[in-house]
Structure 1
């Protein structure tokens, strides 16, 4: 009796095994990221800081004879002493000043409102007869705006100054991961890209451009913002304005706004001094703002950013505020970095599509056939 031909299965065993592997991988990955999701921000910040600190680590490593552990320990100590401790101190002082700022602002604005009743407005001013009623209302709205800003800053910085066990745990995870990330010969980003299936040259190109954009963004936003905030806060302190540290933090944050930056806060300070009758301090603060604070950006940006890839000011603005709203205070760094990686990925994709359209006869370099050979 002749053998009856066997019907091939609808799904081959190889497809079943690969599908099961993909499903198991996805399931385990979801469980793993769900388990460590509370520490993802700390790990991501450690990877970013490690990449930013790598030149310093390399220099120290050469000084200690190429030993990685002592070099990483010294680099980590410098980061703690020069970076983390000052940030905690400034955040604590700024939060304390922000708590008392609304009372000071209300007291000063009440005095200005009383003075505004006796002010004589110039004849050429439009709607002169309405200014007597509008003036006190405008002053009251300014007080509400300043008070709301202070409350927002207190809420944002309270997580840094609260001293909870979670904060210390996040800090420990950050420092622990940073120590090991510094010692890695291959950056974390390049190690992750190895699992994407892209061609090696594409992986290196993507990682290098992402690091370049991130480095330029962090230098342009964070470092210049800190410098302008410190200079602006010193100006407020010298002029005798209360809450100089708090206003310095505010100026560091708003320095990301193109064309405005800390100038808006400094202008308010100058007007406040003029209204309070301190003309000498107002003129001094105006000169300090115009000659030093607002021009330091033009001096520092070419030096710090150099030839690194830069993002558009609008993208920096929305990514910084978006990161601040999503991640909290660390979003000032994470937001622009995520935007930098976003720009890099899409730019790399656009270049790959363009190269493929120009050479359609060539097989795609990132496909399975290219990698199997």
Structure 2
């Protein structure tokens, strides 16, 4: 990951290096500091706000349940019709509004406890992230400082011609940039658009916008994991207009960001069309986890380049094989 980030950070580092040609350690250190300011400080601010909004949201849900909000909801005429329909046709025990209200109250009372546990988990994950980030910065410092020497050593070891090496390294750089831009900028854009809509309809915008951003990394379903329950909730409490607005906004705006922006940012690498991008993202997630959103397209693109170079190098042999 440090190697990939060094490719992304190198234009900034090169400017610093040109201004301080005799101070390579200082320029590499400044590049690492800039990266830290860009990534870590905003993340800490966002996570703090998320925990605050999540806590306020859980308290609001608990008070709504305690003040009889569930009973008022279940007494709505269309909810009564749905329960009666379920009791008439579905093959299980009858649904009683009092039992449903009791179950919701139990969930609401335990929600705060779960949120505290999730907050502790987030803090633990943040600690682990900071440790790993510190290790990555340590490696990144040497990759930036000794960039030319490392690239020269790689060129010397790789058993390819200079033109093939240039092609392979250029492809790694291009796909690294497109994978980062395609995955993370799409998640940020969807989170901002979704959070704005959530704020308009009355939900904590920053909290649910961030949840939408994380959900956008999940293939196929993505942000629908967040906005579909939100639309259903608005329908149940009688805010039909806001529910329709959130549905239309999520499908037309948030969904179009994923369908247009991600493929657009990840085009132009090793002939990767939208379908191949999808499968490389899916395979990367399955094998490597979240970081596979970068590794999947990178591995796929390098493989395609190697196949193309092999075909060009042994084209005559392959034509003879086809004719035999």
Aligned with 2:186 (options 199, 207, 224)? 224
Change (3 A) 1:347 1:299: closer
Q: How many residues align?
A: 301
Aligned pairs for 1:75-154 (under 5 A) are: 75-95=31-51, 111-112=69-70, 115-116=73-74, 118-120=76-78, 129-130=88-89, 133=94, 154=119
Q: Contact 1:319 / 1:336 at 8 angstroms: preserved in 2?
A: yes
How far does the alpha carbon of each residue in 1:131-180 deviate from its partner, in whole angstroms, 9 at most, with x for none? Answer: 79469799969x97x9699799657633343x4xx665433333233233
> Aligned equivalents of 1:153 and 1:188: distance in 2?
42
Residue in 2 that maps onto 1:41:
none
CA drift of 1:255 comes to 1.4
Q: Contact 2:263 / 2:277 at 8 angstroms: preserved in 1?
A: no
Q: CA RMSD in A?
A: 4.4
Residue in 2 that maps onto 1:347:
304
Q: Contact 1:233 / 1:247 at 8 angstroms: preserved in 2?
A: yes
Residue in 2 that maps onto 1:179:
141
Residue in 2 that maps onto 1:55:
11
Matched, 1:234 2:180: no
After TM superposition, the score normalised by the length of structure 1 is 0.62
Structure that is richer in helix per residue? 2
The SS at the match of 1:294 is helix
> Aligned equivalents of 1:108 and 1:288: distance in 2?
27
CA drift of 1:225 comes to 0.6
CA drift of 1:279 comes to 4.1
Change (3 A) 1:69 1:245: same
> Aligned equivalents of 1:187 and 1:100: distance in 2?
53
> Aligned equivalents of 1:187 and 1:223: distance in 2?
32
Residue in 2 that maps onto 1:215:
177
CA drift of 1:75 comes to 3.5
Residue in 2 that maps onto 1:273:
234
The SS at the match of 1:224 is helix
CA drift of 1:107 comes to 6.7
Residue in 2 that maps onto 1:316:
281
Change (3 A) 1:156 1:54: farther
> Aligned equivalents of 1:57 and 1:138: distance in 2?
60
Residue in 1 that maps onto 2:122:
157
How far does the alpha carbon of each residue in 1:199-226 deviate from its partner, in whole angstroms, 9 at most, with x for none? Answer: 5444433332223222211111111112
Change (3 A) 1:52 1:196: same
> Aligned equivalents of 2:17 and 2:212: distance in 1?
37
Residue in 1 that maps onto 2:215:
254
Residue in 2 that maps onto 1:19:
none
CA drift of 1:339 comes to 1.6
Change (3 A) 1:265 1:78: same
Stretches of structure 1 lacking an aligned partner (at least 5 in a row) = 1-44, 325-331, 362-373
Stretches of structure 2 lacking an aligned partner (at least 5 in a row) = 319-324
Q: Contact 1:228 / 1:252 at 8 angstroms: preserved in 2?
A: yes
